[in-house]
């Protein structure tokens, strides 16, 4: 048993990479911005480009301050450790990334436990949250934090509406709980809903933005909150080894992404709809209609598991990912064109017909 990733089979050329929106490669313009970035020593506070990225992201998210971290996972872990003490409880959707995909980090690092809430498309209602509030007693864990994921990844890339968010964050605050948003795809939601990001982050005490998903930077994520919160988050950044040196090179890529790659997310959403409609025409496949850039589908009708289907597509140079026996995911992003969507669709038809 090894946790090391399997080495990619580089011998089969990739024609269309729908496996994740993390698959984007830095563009020439982005690399040029990185090359000319003014840099310093990030952990000493002397990298001007990192400061600029933090200030601009804090403003975009409507928060007082922000901190640059290597990844979204580290943003979640630093935020959780800053909010929670050992033995305290986080309430989050049962399909949330912090519960399923961060190696048990909340327990291992902060000593916090996570209570998984149920709900459609990766979201839960204020009523569900209310029902999960424990009476204060010597017996129960102290509840500390409510977490929401925007967009809800395993919920099909679904957007939390402004109203649904406000209802949940209001309920959390009424019970003295803090609120945290995993904003891995927050800008996809803002673009899809046609609202400023601040409308979506208003009720969240902490929120982060991933620059390596649809925004297409090579690394980096920014966690934002009150000045006091970010001041304490820095201690966990240091502890976890997330303090950087000439981080400005990477921050420059993120600033480039803020300037060039937000509005264009609408193209990914349009491509996702075309892909979903095309896949829905393959009778054997069931498709969840996308709200943003993620297209989830079910392969049971093809007689193939999602892994078998993905394996056959892989042979033809089309990459998708799987997240269940019959559940698969195709992600649209900057490096997938409308023409490549059609190319992927014809390969999918061919693979299903041959099965
Ligand atoms: C990708 C992702 C993360 C983790 O971000 P990384 O930058 O890959 O560490 C967290 N939450 C959600 C919902 C994600 O999709």
Cα separation of 9 and 317, whole Å? 11
Whether 28-260 shares its CATH topology with 264-354 is answered no
**Å from CA of 128 to ligand 1 middle:** 25
The per-residue pLDDT for range 107-158, each reduced to its tens digit, is: 999 999 999 999 999 999 999 999 999 999 999 999 999 999 999 999 999 9
Reading the block at residue 56, the tokens are 């601009």
Q: What is the pTM of this model?
A: 0.97
Q: What are the phi and psi torsion angles at 36 (to 5°)?
A: -100, 5
- Nearest Cα neighbor of 147 from 94, 189, 213, 196 is 94
3-state secondary structure of 166: helix
**Protein residue closest via CA to atom 7 of ligand 1:** 72
**Protein residue closest via CA to atom 1 of ligand 1:** 184
The per-residue pLDDT for range 188-242, each reduced to its tens digit, is: 999 999 999 999 999 999 999 999 999 999 999 999 999 999 999 999 999 999 9
- In CATH, the number for domain 28-260 is 3.40.640.10
CATH fold of 264-354 reads 3.90.1150
Is the pLDDT at 355 greater than 90? The verdict is no
More confident residue, 322 or 1: 322
Task: Show me where the domains of the chain are located.
Answer: 28-260, 264-354
Q: What is the mean pLDDT of residues 7-27?
A: 96
The per-residue pLDDT for range 315-337, each reduced to its tens digit, is: 999 999 999 999 999 999 999 99
Return the ligand 1 atom nearest residue 74 CA: 9
Residues forming a β-bridge with 294: 331
Q: Which residues line ligand 1 (CB under 6 A)?
A: 71-73, 97, 149, 153, 182, 184, 210, 212, 221
Mutate to test the pocket of ligand 1, among 19, 70, 72, 94 (most ligand atoms within 8 A of CB): 72
To the nearest whole number, what is the mean pLDDT of the chain? 97
Return the axis-axis angle of helices 227-239 and 72-83, rounded to nearest 10°: 110
């Amino acid at each position: 048993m090894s946790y090391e990733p399997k080495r990619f089979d580089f011998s089969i050329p990739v024609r269309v990479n729908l496996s994740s929106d993390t698959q984007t490669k830095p563009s020439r313009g982005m690399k040029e911005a990185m090359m000319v970035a003014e840099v310093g020593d990030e952990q000493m506070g002397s990298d001007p480009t990192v400061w600029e990225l933090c200030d601009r992201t804090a403003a975009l998210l409507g928060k007082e301050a922000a901190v640059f971290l290597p990844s979204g996972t580290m943003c979640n872990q630093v935020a959780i450790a800053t909010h929670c003490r050992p033995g305290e409880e986080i309430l989050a959707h049962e399909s949330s990334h912090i519960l399923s995909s961060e190696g048990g980090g909340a327990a291992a690092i902060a000593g916090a436990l996570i209570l998984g809430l149920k709900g459609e498309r990766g979201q839960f209602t204020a009523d569900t949250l209310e029902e999960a509030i424990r009476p204060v007693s010597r017996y129960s864990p102290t509840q500390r934090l409510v977490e929401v994921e925007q967009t809800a990844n395993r919920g099909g890339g679904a957007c939390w509406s402004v109203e649904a968010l406000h209802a949940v964050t209001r309920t959390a605050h009424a019970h003295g709980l803090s609120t945290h948003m995993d904003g891995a795809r927050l800008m996809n939601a803002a673009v899809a809903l046609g609202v400023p990001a601040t409308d979506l982050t208003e009720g969240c005490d902490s929120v982060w933005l991933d620059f390596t998903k649809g925004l297409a930077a090579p690394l980096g994520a920014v966690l934002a909150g009150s000045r006091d919160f970010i001041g304490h988050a820095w201690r966990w950044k240091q502890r976890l080894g997330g303090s950087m040196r000439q981080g400005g090179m990477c921050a420059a890529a993120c600033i480039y992404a803020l300037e060039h790659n937000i509005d264009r997310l609408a193209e990914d959403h349009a491509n996702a709809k075309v892909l979903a409609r095309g896949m829905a025409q393959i009778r054997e496949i069931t498709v969840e209609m996308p709200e943003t850039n993620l297209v989830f589908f079910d392969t049971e009708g093809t007689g193939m598991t999602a892994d078998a289907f993905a394996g056959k597509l892989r042979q033809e140079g089309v990459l998708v990912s799987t997240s269940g026996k019959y559940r698969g995911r195709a992600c649209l992003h900057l490096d997938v064109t409308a023409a490549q969507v059609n190319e992927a669709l014809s390969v999918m038809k061919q693979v299903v017909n041959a099965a």
